[in-house]
């Protein structure tokens, strides 16, 4: 591609990222103007210093999602971070596309400066990613077309508050790889210029993200089950709101991030940095152990075993000499500190397993759960009914809709639809659907909205209802992080006898004084509406929650702005939303072609880290362990339908594919001057002599 076309392409991508990011920011349900200004400032910072985005994006990934407050599912705040980085990177590549020959300009190097002997290796990576991108786009188109063709009278038109069975779920699933591809030119350019520096920044970013996620788990557990309660059936979610319908967003993130905590400990330059890294390792271990996820235990254990083997072979000289031993004999504090840290980590493990029985109950149920999971996988594979679907899949993001409609007894437990009636007295209202055929699923779907911390006293709930038949609606007002509520008595049932007229019903809920930690007393809660049938649906016109002092706690109470500020969650039943296997997920969405392409890229990434140009980098074994952890946890969990976790997976994969050894220093150059200047200098020297 000619330089002019490259500049035009980067300019077009910059305009696309800027326009899309600005459009999303301006429509944010909470802070449209501040986020727009922040988006532009972040883009400018990346344009000036493009090497900061591999640090910032992984660091903020666990906290850049506010769906329980906004109601957004298809897009989220992390998308703004990624699009802002893409805008800044492509703007930088446009402005500095022609640096002096053989030299990098502020960390940006043209792609063509890769050394010729590496070109063949990285050409395979480029071809593989290109084919995967083509497969991804084809699956996206197939998903959108299938959703449009299968749209029924109860389907929701495309909008900001679409659900998992709606057409825009295909875009939600596709965006992780597409955002990574937008950033790929910058990543390759930065890796060409200073791979060791960029590797350190990536490691620091992932470690920071792990610290934020682990701290969120500490706060969550302190407020709800208690830091030392290992018997209550409570599984942490941190700030990964995607787990409101189950899934393994937190599991996959922890599995991929833990090797970078090891990197922080072993590569700490001094005692203070080592203490911070050791603290990170301790809270990360607590977070992983209290996830009570068998997938996390298996993947982290396997990846750390592989990492230990790689580091031992490096330290004994069996690997590249560029990777020096991680422990210097002269630093005795590091040796003794490491022994103490290992001892404390073992104590953590023993405490979680011995002081509570929740993990024991989960392990004892493994055989039964495996049988259910095998049945689930078999039902998912039954969706592929033609050779074309086996080759190309059913389309991105279509699993929840296809599975719930095709497999008997596996329907979604609830759905939402806002009906807008302009010009009429009612204006707009929400239609809350329950399961049509499975009575045992009634009440397994919650309509939610965040409310401030609940004080002691009596709350008044007033709801306008309408239903053609008898309908029951359970109302709860409780302190709640996401899936699990603090035990409380603030709940009641509203009964509508049926009829075409709207009926206003009220309920008084008494809140007792909360006991426990400060987070339980000061943390936010949810109002929860659970439709318990027996009608097929119930219409909700307006919801009002009055606090003890008479304040209205809800926003968008009449659904005039759609589902803004409203959220939903499932509980005790998550089967229709995930296939719970990375490889079956790829096969069902993209077919055998997409599955084989991703497997090929993983093999190529492993080969680069073990035998290719990337093996000389100190980060190589940690990257390898992280990707192996993702593969292992992916055997029992879905990864790619969780956009933030999927983005981290693709970032690590691309980093592993293009990681190179440090470029050699430029050879010294002999100054060359024009002949006229040489003759003049020679004459001057003779005259002086």
Residue 148's nearest CA partner among 435, 420, 401 is 401
Would you place residue 156 in the very low, low, confident or very high pLDDT band (cuts 50, 70, 90)?
low
Residue 317 has what pLDDT? 57
Q: Is the pLDDT of residue 95 over 90?
A: no
**pLDDT tens per residue, range 106-125:** 444 444 444 555 667 788 99
Residue 163 has what pLDDT? 87
Q: What average pLDDT does this structure show over 306-324?
A: 67
Q: How many CB atoms lie within 10 A of CB 129?
A: 23
Q: What average pLDDT does this structure show over 150-157?
A: 60
Would you place residue 157 in the very low, low, confident or very high pLDDT band (cuts 50, 70, 90)?
low
Residue 103 has what pLDDT? 39
Would you place residue 101 in the very low, low, confident or very high pLDDT band (cuts 50, 70, 90)?
very low
Contact 68, 77 (CB under 8 A): no
pTM of the predicted model, to two decimals? Answer: 0.91
Residue 662 has what pLDDT? 66
Q: Is the pLDDT of residue 683 over 50?
A: no
Specify the range with the lowest mean pLDDT, choosing from 126-140, 195-209, 499-513, 554-568: 499-513
More confident call, 154 vs 168: 168
More confident call, 323 vs 134: 134
Q: What average pLDDT does this structure show over 194-220?
A: 95
Percentage, residues of the chain above pLDDT 70: 86
Residue 512 has what pLDDT? 67
**pLDDT tens per residue, range 265-310:** 999 998 999 999 999 999 999 999 999 999 999 999 999 999 999 9
At residue 92, the 3 state secondary structure works out as helix
243, 246, 247, 249: CA torsion to nearest 10:
20
More confident call, 607 vs 480: 607
Work out the burial of residue 506: count CB atoms within 10 Å of its CB; fewer than 13 is exposed, 13-18 middle, 19 or more buried.
Answer: exposed
Where b means 16+ CB within 10 Å and e means fewer, 203-212 reads bbbbbbbbbb
Residue 521 has what pLDDT? 60
Percentage, residues of the chain above pLDDT 90: 60
Distance CA 651, CA 640 (A): 13
Q: Is the pLDDT of residue 59 over 70?
A: yes
Contact 449, 67 (CB under 8 A): no
Specify the range with the lowest mean pLDDT, choosing from 135-139, 369-373, 434-438, 564-568: 434-438
Q: Distances in Å between the alpha carbon of 16 and those of 84, 183, 463?
A: 11, 13, 44
Q: What average pLDDT does this structure show over 483-494?
A: 74
Would you place residue 519 in the very low, low, confident or very high pLDDT band (cuts 50, 70, 90)?
low
Q: Is the pLDDT of residue 193 over 90?
A: no
Would you place residue 100 in the very low, low, confident or very high pLDDT band (cuts 50, 70, 90)?
very low
Residue 114 has what pLDDT? 45
Residue 513 has what pLDDT? 62
Contact 562, 417 (CB under 8 A): no
Please list the helix, strand and coil fractions of the chain in percent, rounded to the nearest 5, in that order: 55, 15, 30
Residue 413's nearest CA partner among 380, 377, 437, 381 is 437
Distance CA 569, CA 567 (A): 7
Specify the range with the lowest mean pLDDT, choosing from 36-40, 47-51, 297-301, 441-445: 441-445
Would you place residue 670 in the very low, low, confident or very high pLDDT band (cuts 50, 70, 90)?
very low
For the beta sheet containing 525-534, the strands, ordered from the edge strand earlier in sequence to the opposite edge, are: 491-496, 471-479, 525-534, 445-451, 566-570
Residue 454 has what pLDDT? 80
Specify the range with the lowest mean pLDDT, choosing from 88-92, 152-156, 239-243, 678-682: 678-682
Residue 688 has what pLDDT? 38
Contact 199, 658 (CB under 8 A): no
Contact 659, 191 (CB under 8 A): yes
Q: What average pLDDT does this structure show over 382-398?
A: 94
Specify the range with the lowest mean pLDDT, choosing from 235-239, 301-305, 673-677: 673-677
Would you place residue 48 in the very low, low, confident or very high pLDDT band (cuts 50, 70, 90)?
very high
């Amino acid at each position: 591609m000619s330089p002019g076309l490259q500049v035009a392409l980067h300019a077009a991508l910059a305009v696309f990222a800027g326009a899309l990011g600005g459009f999303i920011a301006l429509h944010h349900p909470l802070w449209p103007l501040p986020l727009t200004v922040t988006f532009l400032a972040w883009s400018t910072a990346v344009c000036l210093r493009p090497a900061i985005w591999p640090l910032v994006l992984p660091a903020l990934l666990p906290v850049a999602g506010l769906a329980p407050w906004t109601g957004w599912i298809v897009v989220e705040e992390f998308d703004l971070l990624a699009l802002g980085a893409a805008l800044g990177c492509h703007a930088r590549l446009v402005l500095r596309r022609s640096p002096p020959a053989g030299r990098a300009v502020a960390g940006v190097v043209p792609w063509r400066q890769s050394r010729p002997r590496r070109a063949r290796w990285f050409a395979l990576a480029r071809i593989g990613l290109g084919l995967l991108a083509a497969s991804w786009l084809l699956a996206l188109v197939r998903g959108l077309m299938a959703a449009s063709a299968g749209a029924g009278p109860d389907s929701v038109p495309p909008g900001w508050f679409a659900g998992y069975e709606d057409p825009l779920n295909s875009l939600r699933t596709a965006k992780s790889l597409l955002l990574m591809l937008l950033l790929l030119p910058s990543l390759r350019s930065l890796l060409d210029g200073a791979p060791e520096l960029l590797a350190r920044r990536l490691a620091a970013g992932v470690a920071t993200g792990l610290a934020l996620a682990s701290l969120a788990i500490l706060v969550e557990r302190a407020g709800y089950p208690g830091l030392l309660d290992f018997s209550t059936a409570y599984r942490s979610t941190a700030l990964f709101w995607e787990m409101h319908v189950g899934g393994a967003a937190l599991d996959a993130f922890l599995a991929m991030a833990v090797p970078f905590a090891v990197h922080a400990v072993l590569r700490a330059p001094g005692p203070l940095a080592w203490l911070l890294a050791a603290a990170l390792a301790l809270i990360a271990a607590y977070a992983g152990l209290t996830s009570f996820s068998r997938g996390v235990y298996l993947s982290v254990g396997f990846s750390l075993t592989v990492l230990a083997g790689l580091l031992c072979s490096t330290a004994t000289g069996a690997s590249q000499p560029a990777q020096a031993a991680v422990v210097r004999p002269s630093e005795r504090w590091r040796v003794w500190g490491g022994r103490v840290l290992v001892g404390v980590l073992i104590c953590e493990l023993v405490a979680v397993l011995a002081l509570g029985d929740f993990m024991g109950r989960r392990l004892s149920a493994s055989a039964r759960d495996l049988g259910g999971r095998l049945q689930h996988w078999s039902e998912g594979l039954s969706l592929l009914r033609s050779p074309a679907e086996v080759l190309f899949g059913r389309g991105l993001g279509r699993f929840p809709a296809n599975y719930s409609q095709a497999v008997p007894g596996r329907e979604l437990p609830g759905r939402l639809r806002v009906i807008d009636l302009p010009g009429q007295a009612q204006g707009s209202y929400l239609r809350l659907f329950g399961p049509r055929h499975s009575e045992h699923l009634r009440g397994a779907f919650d309509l939610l909205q965040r409310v401030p911390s609940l004080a002691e006293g009596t709350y008044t709930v007033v709801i306008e209802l309408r239903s053609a038949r008898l309908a029951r609606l359970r109302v709860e007002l409780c302190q709640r992080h996401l899936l699990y509520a603090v035990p409380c008595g603030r709940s009641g049932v509203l009964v509508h006898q049926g009829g075409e007229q709207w009926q206003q019903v009220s309920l008084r809920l008494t809140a007792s004084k909360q006991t426990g930690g400060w987070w339980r007393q000061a943390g936010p809660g949810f109002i929860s509406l659970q439709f318990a049938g027996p009608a097929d649906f119930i219409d909700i016109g307006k919801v009002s929650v009055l606090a003890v002092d008479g304040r209205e706690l809800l926003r968008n109470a009449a659904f005039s702005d759609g589902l803004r500020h409203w959220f939903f969650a499932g509980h005790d039943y998550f089967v229709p939303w995930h296939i719970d296997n990375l490889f079956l997920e790829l096969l069902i969405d993209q077919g055998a072609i997409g599955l084989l392409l991703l497997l090929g890229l993983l093999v190529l990434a492993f080969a680069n880290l073990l035998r290719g140009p990337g093996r000389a980098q100190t980060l190589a074994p940690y990257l390898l362990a992280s990707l192996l952890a993702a593969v292992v946890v992916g055997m029992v969990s879905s990864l790619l339908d969780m956009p933030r976790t999927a983005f981290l997976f693709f970032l690590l994969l691309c980093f592993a594919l293009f990681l190179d050894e440090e470029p050699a220093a430029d050879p010294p150059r002999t100054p060359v001057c024009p002949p006229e200047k040489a003759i003049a200098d020679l004459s001057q020297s003779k005259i002086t002599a």
